[in-house]
Structures are given as structure tokens and as C-alpha cells.
Structure 1
Amino acid sequence: MLRNVPEIKLYGADGCHKTRYYQLVLESTRLPFAFLDVEADEGHASELRSLYTNGKLNFPTITIGRKKLRNPYKDELFKWLHKLIPSMLEIKHDKEAQKFTMDINGEEARVEYNLRDGKMYLVHSEVPYQLRGRGIGKELVLKTFEKLTEEGYKAVAICTYIKAIKNRDPKWKEIIE
């Protein structure tokens, strides 16, 4: 489930092969985005010019919220999508290490647990320092709740941050102890 998706805009031209490439890449993500044809609409062209100090039609340009990317490599685009939209990240359950993890461009965010009496005791959550303040921790915990519920586990929140996330949502208050 995608949450907190910022507005995504693709500034380009209908006949531009690079613009078409970015349309296909964005469509593959299933993220909502607006295609703004700067050759067909002067309003879109003016909006694009305002993004650059030189006032030129630098397209293709993709904006993700306030982040501006001009003709990015696919890897760079996905790096920023993952940083700015953590809900599109996949969570993995490593039963052997007793943790749930999300990979954010090579960095690991995790929720650690202890399994006792058929219950998961969620004891620790951590997001790499340089990625904090972007909603990744909240998304990590929510995805952990979804995954452990899907797998049929009962859980007890021990970590204060995990407790706080649980207590903000009536759905999880009833499921996670």
C-alpha cells in the first residue's frame, strides 16, 4: 500500500524519445504522475522555466515533491523515489536473524524482535542516521505490522517508537499488544 506519495511531474514533449522513456519508467512504478507537455502548453513551459535560473526549457525534467531531476539516469531516479516515497520499498522478513528489513539504496532499516511463546516481541527499530526524518521509520514499522499479521504472528510492541506508531492507529492498537 502506497502512503504519502508527493506530487510527481514529468515535464517534456510528446515527440521527445527521452520523455517517452521516462513516461514508461514512471508507469512501471505504478505511481501517479502528471505529464506536462511544454511544447503544447505555454503554462507548462512557463512552470518548467521557473524551475531553472537560466529560464530555459530544460526537459525532460522530473519533480518529486520539491526535488528536481533533469534527465536522470534510471538508477538515480529510483534512488530518489525510494528516499522520498518509502512506502514503495519492499519489506523482508529474515526469520533466522529475527528481523524485518527494508533496503534503501544499500542502507538497511530494520525492526528486530525476539520470538517467545508464539509471539513476536518487537524490541528495536532503527533507520540509518542519514535517512532519518523522511518517514522511513514509520513506514518500516507499519510494513512490519502488515507483514507479521499476514504471516499469522501475534506481536507485542516493546520499543517505545514502535509503541508510539501502534498507538496512533486504532487498527494496530487492537492487533499489536
Structure 2
Amino acid sequence: MNPSYQALPLTDNAYDQQFELAVAGVTALLQYQLHHHYLSLIHTEVPTDLQGQGVGSALVEKVLLLAAERHLTVIPLCPFVARYLHQHPAWYRLVAPGYRPASAQ
């Protein structure tokens, strides 16, 4: 994660079912659904002003850290999240078995 994003707080906006990361007055979000101990990650949105700066990756990493703390099983429905997991396979430990590649089972 880009060190400049580490100290930024992740907001769990449960009402809108999205995690939010505010950077320089602009907010990136990751929409989710929570069912018991399953956290479905549905859609990541990074405003144009923040794209290409690692904000999306920082948001996903912060959400995965939170999922680990809460002992949640992740279901990566968002293509951006799936790509992040592919690039950081250590996180597959949180992913529901049916959503992991065969090499990570």
C-alpha cells in the first residue's frame, strides 16, 4: 500500500453498504453485502481525480484487513478486487473456496 494512504481511515458506511476511503477531499468506495460471516465485495469505484495513484488498491487492502479482523469470508464479485487478489495471492486465505483459483485451494 502506498504509505501516504496507510494513515487514512476506512469508513464502513453500513447504511449505504459501502466502505469509503477519502483522499484529498474525494472519496473512493467499495460496495458490499454482508450475510452472516460472508462479505461479498461487489463494486469498486475510484473517482477520476484519484485513478492511477493506488487508491483503489489501498481501499481493497484496508477492506481485506478489516475482513480478517472480523473473521469474515470474502466473496470477490468485483473484477477490480479479483484482480487485486490475483496480484496478492496471500489474501486468498480470506476468500470463500469456490472463488479461489485452483492453485490457491
Q: Could you state the TM-score of these two structures normalised by the residue count of structure 1?
A: 0.50
Paired AA for residue 142 in structure 1: E
Paired with 2:26 and 2:2, the residues of 1 have a C-alpha distance of 21
**Which residues of structure 2 form unaligned runs of 5+?**
97-105
Greater RCO between the two (CA within 8 Å, min separation 6)? 2
Give the number of aligned pairs. Answer: 96
Paired with 1:146 and 1:97, the residues of 2 have a C-alpha distance of 20
Q: Could you state the TM-score of these two structures normalised by the residue count of structure 2?
A: 0.80
| Residue in structure 1 matched with residue 90 of structure 2 by the alignment | 171
| Residue in structure 2 matched with residue 95 of structure 1 by the alignment | 14
Paired AA for residue 143 in structure 1: K
Q: Over the residues paired in the alignment, what is the CA RMSD in angstroms?
A: 1.6
Return the match for 1:148 from 51, 55, 67.
67
| Residue in structure 2 matched with residue 105 of structure 1 by the alignment | 24
SS of the residue 1:101 aligns to = strand
Q: Which has the larger radius of gyration?
A: 1
- 1:122-177, CA deviations, whole angstroms, 9 ceiling, x for partnerless residues? 00001111110101111110111001221222110000110011122222112123
Percent identity between the two aligned chains: 25
**Which residues of structure 1 form unaligned runs of 5+?**
6-84
Contact 1:166 1:176 in 2 (8 A): no
Q: Residue 90 and residue 117 in structure 1: after superposition, are their counterparts in 2 closer, same or farther (change >3 A)?
A: closer
